Chain A
Amino acid sequence: MNEEERKVLSIRFVVVSLIFLALAGIEGILMRFRLMNTLVEFFDEKHFYSMMTAHPFVGVYGWAYMAVMGAFYFLVPHILKKEIYSKKAAYVSFWLMLVGLIILWSTTFLTHYAPLYTLYWPIPVAYEIIGWNLYSILTFGLGVALILGGVLVFFGNMFATIFLPPRSTDGGSPSPWYVVKELLITAFNLDKIRARISKMPQYTSKAFNYPVFVVAVFRGCVDTTLNAFVIGGVGILLIIFAIGNLIPTLSIPYTIVDPLIYKNVFWWGLDLIADGNVLIFTAGTWYLLVPLLLNRTLYGENVVRTVILADLVVSLFVWNHHMLADTPQPLFLQIQGQLFTWGELITMGLTMFAVLATIWFARPVKYTMPLKFILASITGYAVGGLAGIIQANYASNRFFHNTQWVIGIHGHIQLLVGLSSTLFAAIYALFPLLTGRSLNEKLGNIHLLLWSIGGLIMGLSMGMAGTLGMLRRTLYPMGLGPFEPYMIVATLGALMMATAFIAFIVNILKTIKLTNLLKILF
């Protein structure tokens, strides 16, 4: 795959990811109005919850993952000066993601299947109690499995691109186990540990042979690959269950799965998105873009590599902060979850410090659009991350769990102002490389301000309603009562973000005409 082909592939990923972001945004705004008990005649509870099921899948896998994939398919080979290991696999990952997301979204839209993204056992399969259609369980499971299959193909391709020599034409191809071995050794610094044990002086670990951005990519990919196995596994479980119950002689009872063990495995896997995709990939993108934009080396580069490793290790032990309200869960696991989650304050705090110090020592700084978005992203991570640390304590979780605080301040501010601003920064930075033109700065500023201020307004007002007792995942058919003013303000914030997104799309279409874009895509 040559550079031109990679550019086209990246543009395809980014265009599709933006379409999914628009779709997730429309769903978000519609749900917001429905939550305020308007549009009641247009959609009932089943429809509302099916939308709530699709919304995070479309937002996370459709927008965040596909944008990251688009950026990494271009950046990783560009930085390593290598080709993508497999061109075929790159296209396969694109189509698996796209088809999987379309199947999942259509299932929820057409059948109103609504297990929510949490998929707490036995809700996704309790068809006799809740009234799901067995075919909708089957197609939903298929959609999930395809999406996560696409994710696995992508990460496999990334690992092979990073760790393998370019494909030789003589037919010799190293085994997948070689890649897995190299990955584990390099990601966890196992070679350094071995050198310490055998007292080898002055040994530099393999991870130091790679640029810091690539280190963040393969360490983040460890988390997201494990996540793909777990969530993809749930998709396969749903397929097996649906087929098992469509065949009358087979009939599988949902009691064969233990709900608490399932929940532990599920959250262990799901939270790895938060660490792999949301934290480590973001850190890697900052480490790449900030020094490049300022023409400086990254402040404390060696420390930063260790921080990424620490984040990887910490991320494997934080899932319990999702289960602090589950009283059958052993208490030592709850406390362990709390302590490790606080560890993320240290790793993220050091990451932000390195980035801000790099900017500080580059004074006077001319803030370009990507740099401005990175600053907005740091703000989003600080505001959303601190809320996350607060709710992730055994004691405070007793009144924060499942409230609007969790999804508003921690979830949405971290994902929209934090992660999405980093993705926008990457798009603004890559746009000239991919298309040969730069985006308009005035429209860019409108996008930046409306997006980040709107996101903060939306998330903080949701959070304030949460502190007063407003739950997430709940409609209030008898009226919102004291929460109503907060929801009105949150809607205004959401509309500001929608305006920001429109400004961004106008900017893209003004810079590169629609016909030119279509020419590139097809």
Chain B
Amino acid sequence: MAPQLFIELVYFIVISIVIGFIVIFYILTQRGKSSKADPDNESVPKKGMEKGEKRWLIFLFIVVVVGNILMLSPLLPSSRYVFWLDEEPKMTITIEVRNYEFVFPENPITIPAGVPVEFIVISHDLVYGFGVFNKDGLMIFQMQVVPKPYLNSIVWVFTEPGYYDIRSTEYSGPKHPYLYFPNTIRVVGG
């Protein structure tokens, strides 16, 4: 399963719980008086935190710590290749962009599967995007292309052989939708 589809699944489970909670909350709060006294409906508000509030804060804090650990761990390919990869890129592919034209070193660009490859994209004029998509349209990775003097580079390891499309993922003027280059990458082996 692609990582974004797994993340989406987890997200939909969480928001279903949230929406369900709000509906139940709406129904319950219309009913009778709670036996518990309102801890905060006093003329002078308390200085410290309520017990429930403290527990909620601790829960949120745990979510933040766990979330960040997961997102920076090698679980997701994007952080794996940035923070955890020991190997140097075996191949560097430089792509130049000028006046809505992407100049590729070869077409298709042939890449071996399972090895780190570095893409360097240089724009001579505008902001563009560089996104690689599989044949189902699913985004594999992308980056912004900030114009010169900046070099935009990303290292990736393709695991699935086959053809991939390149599309500009950032608006660069009304010609932007036409910056689509099908079958520009061919991954072999693996």
Q: Give me the interface of A with B, judged by CB distance under 8 Å.
A: 44-46, 48-49, 114, 116, 118, 120-123, 126, 129-130, 259-260, 263, 296-303, 323, 325-328, 331, 335, 338-339, 342-343, 345-346, 349-350, 353-354, 356-367, 375, 378-379, 382-383, 386-387, 389-390, 393-403, 463-464, 467-471, 473-478, 481-483
Q: Give me the interface of B with A, judged by CB distance under 8 Å.
A: 2-5, 7-8, 11, 14-15, 18-19, 22, 25-26, 28-34, 36, 38-42, 45-47, 49-50, 52-53, 56-57, 60-61, 63-64, 67-68, 71-72, 76-79, 82, 99, 125-127, 129, 131, 133, 136-144, 146-147, 150-154, 167, 169-178, 180
Known: A325-B143, A350-B60, A477-B178. A379 touches B150 (CB 8 A): no
Q: Which residues of B are found within 8 Å of A401, using beta-carbon distances?
A: 142, 144, 169
With a 10 A CB-CB cut-off, give which of B25, B47, B171 has the most chain A CB atoms.
B171
Q: What would be 19 A-B contacts, judged by CB atoms less than 8 Å apart?
A: A49-B173, A114-B174, A122-B125, A129-B99, A129-B173, A130-B173, A260-B146, A299-B53, A300-B40, A301-B45, A342-B68, A350-B53, A353-B53, A367-B30, A389-B67, A390-B11, A469-B133, A471-B167, A481-B137
Cross-chain contact A302 with B45 (CB below 8 angstroms): yes
Complex-state Cα separation, A118 to B71, whole angstroms: 27
Complex-state Cα separation, A48 to B177, whole angstroms: 11
Q: Which residues of A are found within 8 Å of B139, using beta-carbon distances?
A: 399, 403, 469
Complex-state Cα separation, A477 to B179, whole angstroms: 11
B49, B60, B126: the one contacting A123 at CB < 8 Å is B126
A301, A379, A389: the one contacting B18 at CB < 8 Å is A379
Q: Which residues of A are found within 8 Å of B57, using beta-carbon distances?
A: 346, 350
Distance in angstroms from B130 CB to nearest chain A CB is 9
Cross-chain contact B126 with A327 (CB below 8 angstroms): no
Complex-state Cα separation, A393 to B47, whole angstroms: 35
Cross-chain contact A123 with B46 (CB below 8 angstroms): no
Complex-state Cα separation, A378 to B29, whole angstroms: 15
Cross-chain contact A360 with B29 (CB below 8 angstroms): yes
Prevailing SS type, chain B contact patch: mixed
Known: A123-B173, A299-B50, A382-B15. A363 touches B4 (CB 8 A): no
Distance in angstroms from A427 CB to nearest chain B CB is 21
Cross-chain contact A328 with B32 (CB below 8 angstroms): no
For the complex of A and B, list the 8 residue pairs with the smallest distance between their C-beta atoms, beginning with the closest: A398-B78, A395-B79, A361-B38, A393-B71, A395-B76, A475-B177, A130-B173, A45-B174
Q: Which residues of A are found within 8 Å of B3, using beta-carbon distances?
A: 396, 399
Distance in angstroms from B146 CB to nearest chain A CB is 5
Nearest residue (CB) in A for B14 is A386
Q: Which residues of A are found within 8 Å of B142, using beta-carbon distances?
A: 325, 398-399, 401-402
Cross-chain contact A300 with B49 (CB below 8 angstroms): yes
Known: A363-B31, A364-B32. A302 touches B67 (CB 8 A): no
Cross-chain contact B47 with A302 (CB below 8 angstroms): yes
Q: Which residues of A are found within 8 Å of B76, using beta-carbon distances?
A: 395-396, 398
B72, B153, B173: the one contacting A395 at CB < 8 Å is B72
